[in-house]
Amino acid sequence: MHEVLQDWDGENALLSFDARTGSHLFIALHSRRLGPAAGGTRLKTYPTPADGLRDATLLARAMTYKMAVAGLPMGGGKSVLAVPGELSPADRHHLLVQHARNVETLNGSYSTGPDVGTSSVDMDVLHEYTDHAFGRSPARGGSGSSAPDTAVGVFHGIRAAVAHVNGDAALTGVRVFVQGCGAVGEPLVGMLVDAGAVVEVSDVVPERVDMLVRKYGVSAAPPDTINVECDVYSPCALGQVIGAAEVPLLRCRIVAGAANNVLVSPDDGERLRQAGILYAPDFVINAGGAVHLIGYEGLGWDSDRVAAGLVGIGATLAQIFTAADAHGISTDRAAERVAEARLESAPAHGRTLSR
């Protein structure tokens, strides 16, 4: 874990161990240049605790860039609860309480929300011990799950990518492979089908695939494949799916999905460019969840303002695609330049977000 932190460019990390559950709890604060840090809480089993910490640091950095490109007054952070396996309900509640207390010790410099392995119900538990939990259930004063709006943002991003490649944003007849049909992937499939796309799906949970096949008439692919022939490959499960070994296997013109940290290394964006594949940078296209949670719960936006923010994801991607072409660089690097310019122009100390 020491090596992970040595290689990281973030501000601060909180590490603790819960003896009762055998879990490691990590909170990584990458940057508060634009405001207090925010990021989801991921509950997952990792090969080693160091892998959990590395995931937290990488995701926190992505959150910094996500907030910056989306124009939100927040910095980037992330929580990872690295559990040894499935927890009993009592142990899960205990672990969430410990996590909430850790969040509270940061005195408002970090707020968290749902992520892989957690939900609005879990945020309700956190809120009993800290005020810094986004995405609570509506019954508890929150805005509920941000996953549907994440899907909306990805949908707008796919349309922007298709428009850049085809000269037309229409999705009629466009072949889209959605990998991962959970809280984001499922509503995305519905929107794509309604827009006339020809959709193929895969998921590690067969029941999810069966339901979508019955509901929408989509076709199914094996869960561990990425070389499906399509126009758009949309990874919507976990990240780290496209590296040097995977780029030659892709049979698509566009990569645009909701997963965080899709690329294995920074060089993979350039590899996709050299292969003639347009990449919608994940920290841009999947910003809909942040727009939802921070817009509704942090900035007091109404539904029209949130909807406009989601549409704006497509417009931002269109600008990034154009800039990448103009400068002969990867779309990933073009998006990073947008984020870095905003970070560099911000005051030394970020704004305080009123809650």
How far, in Å, CA of 323 to CA of 341, rounded? 14
Instruction: Write down the pTM of the prediction.
Output: 0.92
215 is a catalytic site residue? no
Tokens of 98: 């410990």
Tokens of 194: 């309604």
Would you give the distance in Å from CA 146 to the centre of its chain?
11
pLDDT digits (tens, 9 = 90+) for 200-232: 999 999 999 999 999 999 999 998 899 999 999
The amino acid that residue 304 corresponds to is D
pLDDT truncated to tens, each residue of the chain (355 aa)? 989 999 899 999 999 999 999 999 999 999 999 999 999 999 999 999 999 999 999 999 999 999 999 999 999 999 999 999 999 999 999 999 999 999 999 999 999 999 999 999 999 999 999 999 999 999 999 999 999 999 999 999 999 999 999 999 999 999 999 999 999 999 999 999 999 999 999 999 999 999 999 999 999 999 889 999 999 999 999 888 999 999 999 999 999 999 999 999 989 999 999 999 999 999 999 999 999 999 999 999 999 999 999 999 999 999 999 999 999 999 999 999 999 999 999 876 544 433 3
Q: Evaluate whether 275 touches 314 at the Cβ level (below 8 Å).
A: no
How far, in Å, CA of 345 to CA of 330, rounded? 23
Tokens of 7: 């290689």
In sequence order, the β-bridge partners of residue 184 are none
Helix (H) or strand (E) holding 12: strand 12-18
3-state secondary structure of 81: strand
How many CA atoms, within 13 angstroms, populate the side-chain half-sphere of residue 201? 32
Helices (H), the chain: 2-6, 49-70, 89-105, 120-127, 147-166, 185-194, 206-216, 267-274, 282-285, 288-293, 303-327, 331-345
> CB 7: neighbour CB atoms within 10 A?
9
pLDDT digits (tens, 9 = 90+) for 255-299: 999 999 999 998 999 999 999 999 999 999 999 999 999 999 999
How far, in Å, CA of 98 to CA of 296, rounded? 26
Q: Residues, the chain, total?
A: 355
How many CA atoms, within 13 angstroms, populate the side-chain half-sphere of residue 126? 27
In sequence order, the β-bridge partners of residue 278 are 254
The DSSP code for 248 is: G
pLDDT value of residue 355: 33
Would you give the distance in Å from CA 48 to the centre of its chain?
22
Q: Evaluate whether 39 touches 63 at the Cβ level (below 8 Å).
A: yes
pLDDT digits (tens, 9 = 90+) for 181-190: 999 999 999 9
Backbone angles phi and psi of 77, in degrees to 5: -150, 175
In sequence order, the β-bridge partners of residue 82 are 24, 44
How far, in Å, CA of 185 to CA of 203, rounded? 9
Q: Evaluate whether 220 touches 202 at the Cβ level (below 8 Å).
A: yes
Q: Evaluate whether 73 touches 35 at the Cβ level (below 8 Å).
A: yes
pLDDT value of residue 349: 53
Quick one: which of 341, 317, 320 has its CA closest to 330? 320
Active-site residue (options: 44, 66, 78, 215): 78
Backbone angles phi and psi of 67, in degrees to 5: -60, -40
Does residue 90 come out as left (phi exceeding 0), alpha (psi in the -120 to 50 range) or beta?
alpha
